Amino acid sequence: MSDNPFINPPNEPAPSGDSPYQPPGPSKRAKPSWLTFIFVVTLILGLMGILGSCFVIGGPFLSKAMNNLMGDQGQSDEQIAARDEIQAMGEEQYVPNLVFGLLNLALASILIVGSIGGLNRKPWTPKILKMGYTAAIVFLILRTIYGLYIQITTMDQMFKLSMKQAGPAGESMSGFIRGMFWFGIVFGMFITFAFLIFYALSLLKMKSPDVGAYFESQ
């Protein structure tokens, strides 16, 4: 063995001058908890929004086609008149419903794109979903206010027309029909409230530094 400490031992290769120092790359962060759940639920809500928008946009035409298919057989003149009046009320509300339907269609598309981007860890995901969740909260509040206004102002008339359309059994079914009206309102409010909570919590999650760091560390 050489006494010179600056000479490499025979079993150790000399360092190559062609291998520059390379610092270690950024460590890949683990996915924050509940993130996959948020993306999957967002994707489902987006798909439901697309389906619901198609129903809202095409609902009056579908209803008219069903009435034409069923015809007037077995119905009294009073039942036919009540049916036609209910259909006319729906047509009067078609324009605002169409606006909400188109807005919901655009919003659902944003949520679908954002959720798919999140599942594939695209860096633009938080930005898209923050915009989508904020828009969803505003949209739900506006649609709920409009829906409650329509239900409050037309509920009595719709109830009377539904009673007439039910025919002779309408009187005996009055309690059931009124109960269904209120059940629809309460259930709709419950679903809206649940959606608002989900969108608000998801928006806070997208603003979290952990989520931002997760998507930045590729």
pLDDT at 214 over 80: yes
- Please tell me the predicted confidence (pLDDT) of residue 154: 79
pLDDT in tens, 103-140: 999 999 999 999 999 999 999 999 999 999 999 999 99
Q: What percent of the chain has pLDDT over 90?
A: 41
CB 109 within 8 A of CB 46: yes
Amino acid at 69: L
Question: Residue 84 has what pLDDT?
Answer: 73
Q: pLDDT per residue over 34-59, tens digit each? A: 899 999 999 999 999 999 998 888 87
Torsion of CA 115, 189, 152, 52, to 10 degrees: 30
Mean pLDDT of the chain: 81
User: Which residue has better confidence, 180 or 25?
Assistant: 180
pLDDT digits (tens, 9 = 90+) for 148-184: 888 888 777 777 777 776 666 666 666 777 788 788 8
Joined together, the tokens standing for residue 209 give: 């530094």
Determine which of 6-10, 65-69, 195-199 has the lowest per-residue pLDDT on average: 6-10
Residues 6+ positions from 91 with CB-CB distance below 8 Å: 60
pLDDT of residue 37: 95
122-to-65, 117, 128 alpha-carbon distances in Å: 44, 5, 10
Helices 94-119 + 125-166 axis angle, to 10? 140
